[in-house]
Amino acid sequence: MQIAPQHVLIVVDVQNDFCPGGQLAVAGGDEVVPVIHRIARLFEHIILTQDWHTSHHQSFASAHPGKHPFEQIEVSYGMQTLWPDHCVQGTRGAEFHPDLNLTRAELILRKGFRAEIDSYSAFFENDRSTATGLGGYLRERGFARVFLAGLAYDYCVGYSALDARRLGFPAVVIRGACRAINLNGSVARVEKEFAEAGVGLIESFDMLA
């Protein structure tokens, strides 16, 4: 697939807490870093996203006495999976993985900072209506297609790709530059949604060939 100047690479949440040793570690999460570095050379434009939670975020199991990580509760915007405390603002866990070296990224978009609502997507909070502003940014910059990589494939990457399509942007997920949580069949579920929404899937080696 040919990369054009109006295409943008969105690198999603490659943060310490999502990598081995982190509070919500994705298996092999750190393995995406060298792949992303190789792919990034193809792109003129790069955006980074960063989970940025308050210390008592509603999505944390610790905020709900008697509840445990990965249980679900009902909140105002629907069902919410409860997570271990992770990516708390200003902590080491919220920092980008130390090997991630994308200093030429043009935007760092922080999400999930509203204490009462979770945010998987880079475009919308989990109520599906509160915008982060990324869609407007992409339109103002004249970007025509988004490519996504990072963590986790079946949550923040997947939701971002689906919302990009919802906003009218062609979206391609670079599968080999992602790792998944795969909680209760989440990989199969998101890939079914990709097919229905027209999200493209490509392997990293196909891009680098």
Q: Which residues are catalytic?
A: 13, 111, 156
Q: Is there a contact between 47 and 183 (Cβ–Cβ < 8 Å)?
A: no
- Distant-in-sequence, close-in-space partners of 203: CB < 8 Å, separation ≥ 6: 174, 175, 176
Q: Which of 37, 18, 50 is nearest to 152 (CA)?
A: 18
Say how many residues make up the chain: 209
Scan for tokens 């209760």, then name that residue: 184
Mention every residue, 6+ apart, whose C-beta is less than 8 A from residue 8.
Answer: 43, 45, 46, 47, 138, 141, 143, 145, 146, 147
Dist. CA 31–CA 29, nearest whole Å = 5
d(CA 1, CA 73): 42
